[in-house]
Structure 1
């Protein structure tokens, strides 16, 4: 499956950062939907099919962790891959995020948008290989 057939949800309340992530993912060929907070992201996953989510941790209305907890508690979304973006100072939380919430990868801000694209591509490729084997 090519990148153009993959749909990525980006949940980020910082419009400028969301735009940068979206631009880089779209340039890599992905279809991208942006949600401005966790609540809107939760509504989006219920209305559309996504192959992977890139979410910020600190957002209004529903944090990235709260959003992931809802995903993991719902059979339909339990295995939806999630990459989390988090602010400096949250380093101590990263192992817990990966272990308890099944986060595929975490990135501390600031980060390289190219690293996010590579993580998305690598993770989707690994999932594709698991499914086809």
Structure 2
């Protein structure tokens, strides 16, 4: 598959949602690394390079916004697409956060995993043409 080399980091503290996203993306051929909180995701991101990052906003130890800020501080993640997964009610803050942190897309929960897969495919295809 063409996606085999694309590495995805998913940071999500909801275990069921994390499993669904991992299953959906792995089935599409992506190499998925899971993190159950922001600090664990940050450790993974420092240890290896990912082609795209999906992160929940509200997580223990480090929020999604804090994770995005840390990722953007590393040169190798300067242009990496980041998808922010948010709870309902946070939508009002999103435009400013997206602009400040270079977040490529957002999804408010609940969302369809197939929508996330489609966006991941679009973002990685766009990254490949840059």
TM-score computed with the length of structure 2 as normaliser: 0.96
- Which residue of structure 2 aligns with residue 43 of structure 1? 43
Task: Tell me the distance in 2 between the aligned counterparts of 1:27 and 1:76.
Answer: 27
The alignment's C-alpha RMSD in Å is 1.1
| 1:96 positional shift | 1.3
Task: Tell me the distance in 2 between the aligned counterparts of 1:89 and 1:46.
Answer: 31
Structure 1's unaligned 5+ residue stretches are none
TM-score computed with the length of structure 1 as normaliser: 0.94
Ranges of 4+ aligned residues in structure 1 off by more than 2 Å: none
Task: Tell me the distance in 2 between the aligned counterparts of 1:56 and 1:27.
Answer: 21
- Which residue of structure 2 aligns with residue 113 of structure 1? 113
Alignment of 1:46-65 (within 5 A): 46-65=46-65
| 1:76 positional shift | 2.5
| 1:74 positional shift | 2.1
- Which residue of structure 2 aligns with residue 86 of structure 1? 86
Deviations 1:66-125 (A, max 9, x none): 000111122232222100100000010110121001000000000000000000000000
Alignment of 1:1-133 (within 5 A): 2-130=2-130
| 1:5 positional shift | 1.0
Structure with greater proportional helix content: 1
- What is the number of residues matched between the two proteins? 130
Task: Tell me the distance in 2 between the aligned counterparts of 1:55 and 1:43.
Answer: 14
